[in-house]
Chain A
Amino acid sequence: MSFRTNLLAAAAVALLLPGAAAMAQSIPIGHLNDFSGGTADVGTPYGQGVDDTIAWINKNGGVAGRQIAADAVDYSYQVPRAVALYKKWTGSEKVVAIMGWGTADTEALTSFVTKDQIPFLSGSYAGSLTDPTGKAPKAERATPYNFFYGPSYSDSARAMVQWAAEDWKKKGGQGKPKYVHMGANHPYPNAPKAAAEEYAKELGFEVLEPIQFALAPGDYTAQCLTLKQSGANYAYLGNTGGSNVSVLKACETAGVKVQFFGNVWGMDENAMKTAGTAANGVVFPVRTASVWTDDPPGMKLFRDISKISDPSGKAYRTVHYISGVCSMLYMKEAMDWAAANGGIAGPKIRDGFYAHKDWVPKGTEGVCKPSTWTPEDHRPTTQVELYQASVTGPTDGEVADLIQKGTLKLSKIATIDLPRKKEWLGY
């Protein structure tokens, strides 16, 4: 070959090689987040946690030396947009995993991710996502590629019911305690209803008729009056933040004396601030073993990750941020395992989830809870941390200041260990 041909060939290789190398370097994943839609108040901290973790992973060596190329899109909780994004990700970009978000899009995409074999780690902890084989008696369908970090909604509700039973005995209550489920007739609030009511009956509660209230903030004095009249002792609030706050405030005004339970997405530091003293005493589950004000050894990693988007280090990170970070770190370690065992692809990442037992991502000791996924059981943990909210004064001001002043406080009151029952799988 002539000199010119050789030169051109060398130039072509020189131009393509970095490109090829760069392409070989990055791992494409999809990231659905909600920063502006109906669940933005909880989606923002969670999505921020995932984003910060991805940036931190890339800054610290990536996954097996490769950078994660995350396509993070705010889909505003609109399912058609999520489906369109999924088509884009599996069409041209060939993502190997997806960090998902809400119940609606997770349910809609389940059949697709199962067919395309793409692990989907959602922010939805619905019980229907926990059965990979679909064989459990109450399961709806097989969801082998759906994962989530944290106890399922049903298990969280069961844990609070168990705590309520112990609390009743401790308070010296006479007779059967009364339990009531409050929420909208909608997939999210209804997810744990059957499981919680069933467990409550088993533990000797008298289960009252559920009280419905809509998913939007409004006037719920009527519901509170009914609650008061029914004489319930423990009430589970199944909706998301805004409407739960409305109920708490209305019930505080109406003088209702009930122990309220929140749910994972329905009660957090921001909701406590909005509800003010009405949120005092509410018990709710937390997915991690600590919150931002605690200081176990693992919390240092979270503060480092937080500095990615908050260099001053002064921001207060809610429970959702911490859970988002844990979720992404689990995905990272699953991808690490896949890289070392055959290559980063969907089915291998799924195997990476199965490869660890009582798994805590490196550096997060004392924060992320030990989790185990198996091919028959996608419930990572059946141990639930219960915290109690304490609000002792007016809550106008930044959450960070209120926490510092002590007006807002989260204290751990129990760690409930539920038995990993096979009959409880899948719903």
Chain B
Amino acid sequence: MDTHLLLQLTINGLIVGALYGVVAMCFVLIYKASQVVNFAQGEFLLIGAWICWWLLTKYQLPFYAGFLITLAFMMVFGLVLQIVVLRPLIGEPVISVIMVTIGLSIFFQALMKWIFGVFAQPFPPVFTTKSVAVFGLEVQTVYVMSTVVSVLIMIGFAWFFKFSRMGLAMRATAFNQQVAQSLGISIRQVFALSWGISAVVSTVAGVVVGIVNGVSSALSFFGIKVFPAVILGGLDSIVGGVLGGLIIGLLENLAHFVDTQWLKWGNLYEVAPFYILIVILMIRPYGLFGTKDIERV
């Protein structure tokens, strides 16, 4: 067994998994706070990446300036989107809201293609060293940055939800909207803020993937890749989302290893997460860390 390759694949899995975890966190955040399944999550990545690219290439801003401006813009964008499109849908059945987010994703994909064109664009070089060696695996510097940022975001989220007033308000709203309202929490603010934060954090992932692969409309497929991660971890658990992302990242790479060494099927990299997903769902229907719905008659 090629342990060197296995080690490298494991590291790669963890790094990519951290990125999945970031996007999964955003997804869970929206679901937890406003009970909406956001099929347009991939488009948040896409919009963030394009805006950042545009600021960097058109206005020749340094990376950190452009990045921060993009984050600010995405916060406003998430807030406005929630206020304009999703507020009228409060109270509608879940499936209608899912459909609206799907409609939004179609709309934004076409809009981005119209504004920025159909050709994939590379990011201007951001880091002077292109790659860093981690345990013998050459990793792109931007991935190292993303891992660091992901960990920081996770710590930030943990602090936010445990200790800050707004975070507690979000948890209360997720638990029971009516009780939270009766305690004086403004549900609308909580919803809007959750969308804003989710948009901002998605942008981080979007920019990272954009730097690695170039920005193109295919970035939105990342949103679909994230679903197994979210379900695996449990829909309403942020920790679960992160762990789910890491597990999916590891799973993809390990499945690839098994496939190339022994099975030789060829495509285990893509489908293994889904097979494992079904297995886990049979054993634990609410994911690894999801809260079981206690039904009262």
* A associates with B: yes
Which residues of A are at the interface with B, using a C-beta cutoff of 8 A? 35-36, 40-41, 44, 185, 209-214, 216-219, 221-223, 225-226, 229, 241-242, 245-246, 249-250, 253-255, 270-271, 273-276, 394-396
| A185, A222, A241: the one within 8 Å of B267 (CB) | A185
Cα of A40 to Cα of B137 in the assembled complex, Å: 35
Residues of B contacting A209 in the complex (Cβ-Cβ under 8 angstroms): 260, 264, 266
A271 vs chain B, min Cβ distance (A): 8
In the complex, besides A212-B270, A253-B130, A253-B139, 8 extra interface pairs with C-beta distance below 8 angstroms are: A36-B110, A36-B113, A40-B113, A40-B118, A221-B16, A222-B256, A241-B120, A275-B122
Q: Classify the interface of chain B: helix, strand, loop or mixed.
A: helix
Residues of A contacting B57 in the complex (Cβ-Cβ under 8 angstroms): 396
Residues of A contacting B5 in the complex (Cβ-Cβ under 8 angstroms): 225-226, 229
Cα of A254 to Cα of B9 in the assembled complex, Å: 11
Which residues of B are at the interface with A, using a C-beta cutoff of 8 A? 2, 5, 8-9, 12-13, 16, 57, 110, 113, 118-125, 130-131, 137-140, 209, 212-214, 216, 218-219, 221-222, 225, 252-253, 256-257, 260, 264, 266-267, 269-270
B119 vs chain A, min Cβ distance (A): 5
Residues of A contacting B222 in the complex (Cβ-Cβ under 8 angstroms): 218
Cα of A241 to Cα of B213 in the assembled complex, Å: 11
B118 touches A245 (CB 8 A): no
| A212, A218, A394: the one within 8 Å of B213 (CB) | A218
A392 vs chain B, min Cβ distance (A): 14
B223 vs chain A, min Cβ distance (A): 12
Residues of B contacting A217 in the complex (Cβ-Cβ under 8 angstroms): 120, 209, 213-214, 216, 218-219
Identify 11 residue pairs between A and B in the complex whose beta-carbon atoms are under 8 Å apart, listed by A's number: A41-B119, A209-B264, A217-B120, A219-B16, A219-B213, A222-B13, A222-B257, A225-B9, A253-B139, A274-B216, A396-B125
- CB-nearest residue of chain A to B141: A253
* 8 A-B pairs with least C-beta separation: A40-B118, A396-B124, A274-B214, A217-B213, A222-B256, A212-B266, A274-B120, A221-B12
Residues of A contacting B219 in the complex (Cβ-Cβ under 8 angstroms): 217
Residues of B contacting A36 in the complex (Cβ-Cβ under 8 angstroms): 110, 113, 118
A402 vs chain B, min Cβ distance (A): 11
Given contacts A242-B120, A245-B213, are A226 and B260 in contact (CB under 8 A)? yes
Cα of A266 to Cα of B137 in the assembled complex, Å: 28
